[in-house]
Amino acid sequence: MEKRISSGDSLRQEAISSPDEALSLKAAFDQPDTAGGAAAGEPEFFRDKANWISYLLIGHYCFLLASLGPIMPFLREEEHLNYFLSALHFTAWSTGSFVAGAVGHMIMRRLGYVKTVWVCGFSVLITSLVLAAVANPFITIGIAFLGGLGGSAMGQSVTTLMAERYGTKRGIYITEANISGSVFAMLAPLAVGSFLSWGLGWRAVLIIPMILFLFAFATSRHVYAQIKQTARSMEGGALPLRYWLFYVLIWFSVASEWSIIFWTSEFLEKVKGFDKVDAAQSVSIFLVSMLIGRILGIRLVRSFDANLLLLVTAIIAFFGLFTFWQGGSNVVSLVGLFFAGLGTANIYPTSFAQAIGSSHGKTSLAASRMSTSTGSAVLITPLILGAIGDRFGIFIGYGLLAVFMAMTIVVAIVALIMRPKEK
């Protein structure tokens, strides 16, 4: 995930372009926790309050998003929704994320990065509040759109700030931010179950993201004001071909990831003969292996070329998914599911870091455009897979995911060939 910059690359693409500037930025934050040394002329990765608050902001958004699935049966019962109207909540959320990809850089240019973080963060808070307080499908579907739009724009702005800050070490930050999002997403269904068992009701769960955001805003609303930005970071215009390679690669990866999450339970029940409970619980194998993969990724990006690491992880993900799909026994299939998650875990953060590094310094535009890739992948691919499953069976539907994973390998090879040559 760490971009290897050649001596011919323009260092003005990075937020920190010299050791002196790196030191001055480092001194601007309280007690940084250094995570490995940096070569001369490269920015150093360190953790401080700005990091932890950014992880909290990304995490609270992922917690709310991951809560939608577990609370939907209760929302459906209270609002008397059919499955189509229930699914529209997820569609609206993904549409909001897609729209944020189209206009996010304009929002950041108009408000500035710091204001975008907090203004759009408040939209996530409002989304939590309305979902908890209102029982009207037209309002809750509309507020889901706002949550996807605001939360995605907030994430774009935080990522842009921190990616500019760390320059060539951005891959470490993006991996850690994804770990934070994964942990909070995993906690959401556990929180729903716990609150219900305690008699507090599903609405009480939505108080958690509200509290987390208000804590971040009350204690740290000025924390990002000190981070310097390059003049080019807010530029619009065209992005280079290599950026669009990673854009396509991320589309295939996210499409596969979310389709696996949505349809693995159904696949295990209908194809492998699992009962409903075991099939549902087995999805956690994929989620846990993704978390393990991203934790390992923090170390891997320090030691290996990011382009080569991306190709290796894509190969692991493909063979894991293929084994899960074609496995001759249930044990073999579950082992394949584990390796599918292990490989998939680092495709997105590695590709995203590389995409920003390939943007010629147009960080905000690169970050916002990427939301159109992830948003469209989440929006349409599970529906396509479901349509194929209805017509030909879920086993055939999973063949589409194998094609998608194979395409990540192909695009990763092209990106590896096109990487800047070191001199």
Per the CB < 8 A criterion, the answer to whether 351 and 250 are in contact is yes
Chain segment 219-240, per-residue pLDDT in tens: 988 888 777 665 445 555 678 8
Chain segment 270-304, per-residue pLDDT in tens: 888 887 777 777 777 888 888 888 888 877 877 77
Q: Is residue 422 part of a domain?
A: no
Cα(246)–Cα(188) distance, integer angstroms: 30
The tokens of 364 are what? 């905000």
Chain segment 87-124, per-residue pLDDT in tens: 788 888 888 888 887 787 778 878 887 888 898 889 99
The tokens of 309 are what? 């690491």
The answer, yes or no, to whether residue 129 has pLDDT greater than 90, is yes
The pLDDT of residue 229 is 60
Q: Is 99 left (phi over 0), alpha (psi -120 to 50) or beta?
A: alpha
If you search the block for the tokens 């990011």, which residue do you land on? Answer: 306
Domain of 293: which CATH number? Answer: 1.20.1250.20
Cα(15)–Cα(31) distance, integer angstroms: 21
First to last CA, the chain: 20
Q: Is residue 4 part of a domain?
A: no
Cα(253)–Cα(245) distance, integer angstroms: 12
The pLDDT of residue 23 is 32
Task: Using alpha carbons only, give the angle 307, 311, 316 rounded to the nearest 5 degrees.
Answer: 145
Q: Is residue 262 part of a domain?
A: yes
Chain segment 348-376, per-residue pLDDT in tens: 888 888 888 887 777 778 877 887 888 88
Chain segment 40-90, per-residue pLDDT in tens: 455 666 677 888 988 999 999 989 888 887 787 788 788 787 766 777 888
Which tops the pLDDT comparison, 326 or 44? Answer: 326
If you search the block for the tokens 């309002």, which residue do you land on? Answer: 139
- Contacts of residue 361, Cβ cutoff 8 Å, sequence gap at least 6: 10, 12, 13, 14, 230, 232, 233, 235
Which tops the pLDDT comparison, 334 or 378? Answer: 334
Cα(4)–Cα(1) distance, integer angstroms: 9
Q: Is residue 56 part of a domain?
A: yes
The pLDDT of residue 406 is 93
Q: Is residue 101 part of a domain?
A: yes
Q: pLDDT band at 407, cuts 50/70/90?
A: very high
What average pLDDT does the chain have?
Answer: 78
Cα(394)–Cα(35) distance, integer angstroms: 45
Identify the helix (H) or strand (E) that includes residue 274: none
The pLDDT of residue 316 is 94
Which tops the pLDDT comparison, 245 or 6? Answer: 245
Among 260-269, 299-308, 313-322, name the most confident range. Answer: 313-322
Which tops the pLDDT comparison, 325 or 397? Answer: 325
Query: Rounded to two decimals, what is the model's pTM?
Result: 0.71
Q: Which domain holds residue 397?
A: 13-17+19-417
Least confident of 99-103, 168-172, 220-224, 313-317: 168-172
Total tally of structural domains belonging to the chain: 1
Residue type present at position 264: T
Report CA Rg, the chain. 21
The pLDDT of residue 234 is 53
Q: How many residues does the chain have?
A: 423
Cα(199)–Cα(237) distance, integer angstroms: 53
DSSP string, 33-45: EE-S---TTS---
Q: How many other C-beta atoms can be found within 10 angstroms of the C-beta atom of residue 82?
A: 10
Percentage, residues of the chain above pLDDT 90 = 17
Q: Is residue 290 part of a domain?
A: yes
- Contacts of residue 14, Cβ cutoff 8 Å, sequence gap at least 6: 5, 43, 164, 167, 168, 230, 361
Cα within 13 Å of Cα(5), Cβ side: 26
Distances (CA, A) of 31 to 101, 310, 312: 35, 33, 36
Q: Is residue 8 part of a domain?
A: no
The pLDDT of residue 258 is 81
Q: Is residue 401 part of a domain?
A: yes
The average pLDDT across 128-153 equals 89
382-385: Cβ within 8 A, 24+ apart = 382/258, 382/259, 382/262, 382/263, 385/259, 385/262, 385/263
